[in-house]
Structure 1
Amino acid sequence: MSKKKRNILLIFTGLIVGIGVVFTLLNGWSFMKGYALGGEHPKKPEIQQDAFKDKQKKDREQLYSKAPSVGEEIGELYIPKLNSTLPIYHGTNEDELEKGVGHFADSVLPGEADNSVLSGHRDTVFRRLGEVGVNDELIVTTAAGEFTYKIRKTRIVDADDRTVIVPKPRATLTLSTCYPFHYIGAAPERFILEAYLIEG
């Protein structure tokens, strides 16, 4: 190899190494900056978490004497707009959803202060849910009584959107089904109705 070609190869190699070092330094700086800005979120004191759990337990004891078992029928959902009454089962496995509306087991029971989440198939129990909208009522009857909710908003979210099941500051009923209603195969979105307790 001639001296000229060797020099060009050395310059080219040095340039590649130099670019690599610059990218490494820039990425390292971005990482450190993000780490410094993000930090750790302060953990809630254990005493607050315990107090919150105690309050939830007390609220449940006031309305329900015991928590239901998965698969147990816990009540009925009446949708006046559709003149439709649907059984509600505790749990959202396929076994429950084949029989009726499923109650998301990690959410509170209907009537309790927080977010009670109900799900159903778009091609069975909730096939006409798209006809229901803002200001329509949803009535849930359980062993604890009758609870009337008024729909305050509807929305369409991605299938993996977890905001549907987040806690709420007041007694809320959230209905969820796959969307679009006439989609063939696994639907990419969810149709959501969010209602507030107005009576019960």
Structure 2
Amino acid sequence: MFPKKMINGRMNGMVPIILLFIIGLMIIAINSYWYVQGISSVDSIRMTSELKVKEHINLSKKTITTENQLSLPSVGDMYGHLLIPKLDSKIPIFYGAEEDQLKEGVGHVQGTPFSGENSNTVLSGHRDTVFRHLGKIEKGDRLIIEMNANIFTYVVKKIRIVDENEPTVIVPKPRSTLTVITCYPFGYLGNAPQRFVLIADLIDKG
């Protein structure tokens, strides 16, 4: 028989370990939930040709407000979708690029214009959820923004890898441009030190 004091001492010593184990499980569960939430926000276009993409978009116009009805969204509002035909992805766009928005889909950086304006629309997303396959995009690939019953088609003209605080990424442009940002390298553990940047020019407004 072990002395009662020894047993109590061992039990008391186990309490912090048990608490740390429970806290660790909670952190893993929370992070897993938001990871799944981010991945599940990406839908499949299920179409590859440009004609079929257009058909898919036209069907969804019935649920989108007309241009005259559009008002500036509030932070956290979902106002459109980013379609990436090469990745067969359709991702919701939320106004604002804080963590609350990035958990749900793509974030529109506040202060940058909306698609169709003659400047630089900037979108951001997590590399391990909505943009986990973004590294497959090449120059010449299309990015499509579905918004306000309009379809804005862009073609990727430049791909950059820059430091996380590179000031030239979010700057005005002389023509309608779409800039898409995510962290880089894609497989990096922890806070990635760089950014993967796609720069695309508007080629069609439908």
TM-score by length of 2: 0.65
Unaligned runs of 5+ in 1: 1-61
**1:149 alignment counterpart:** 154
Unaligned runs of 5+ in 2: 1-66
Q: Superposition RMSD on alpha carbons, in Å?
A: 1.3
Q: How does 1:62-73 map to 2 (within 5 A)?
A: 65-73=70-78
Letter in 2 for 1:165: I
Q: Which of 71, 76, 81 is equivalent to 2:81?
A: 76
In the alignment, the residues of structure 1 paired with residue 172 and residue 152 of structure 2 have an alpha-carbon distance, to the nearest angstrom, of 19
Q: Which of 120, 129, 137 is equivalent to 1:132?
A: 137
**1:6 alignment counterpart:** none
1:79-108 deviations in Å (ceiling 9; x for gaps): 011011000000001000000000001100
1:25-81 deviations in Å (ceiling 9; x for gaps): xxxxxxxxxxxxxxxxxxxxxxxxxxxxxxxxxxxxx88842111000010000011
Number of corresponding residues: 139
Q: How does 1:170-189 map to 2 (within 5 A)?
A: 170-189=175-194
**1:160 alignment counterpart:** 165
**1:103 alignment counterpart:** 108
1:100-127 deviations in Å (ceiling 9; x for gaps): 0000011001221100000000000000
Letter in 2 for 1:167: P
Letter in 2 for 1:133: E
Query: Greater CA radius of gyration, 1 or 2?
Result: 1
Contact 1:75 / 1:87 at 8 angstroms: preserved in 2? Answer: yes
Structure 1 pair 64–155 and aligned structure 2 pair: CA distance change class (3 A): farther
Contact 1:63 / 1:144 at 8 angstroms: preserved in 2? Answer: no
In the alignment, the residues of structure 1 paired with residue 185 and residue 69 of structure 2 have an alpha-carbon distance, to the nearest angstrom, of 36
Letter in 2 for 1:68: P
Letter in 1 for 2:147: T
Contact 2:70 / 2:148 at 8 angstroms: preserved in 1? Answer: no
1:139-189 deviations in Å (ceiling 9; x for gaps): 000115110000000010000012110000000000000000000000000
Contact 1:113 / 1:169 at 8 angstroms: preserved in 2? Answer: yes
TM-score by length of 1: 0.67
In the alignment, the residues of structure 2 paired with residue 96 and residue 192 of structure 1 have an alpha-carbon distance, to the nearest angstrom, of 19
In the alignment, the residues of structure 2 paired with residue 165 and residue 80 of structure 1 have an alpha-carbon distance, to the nearest angstrom, of 25
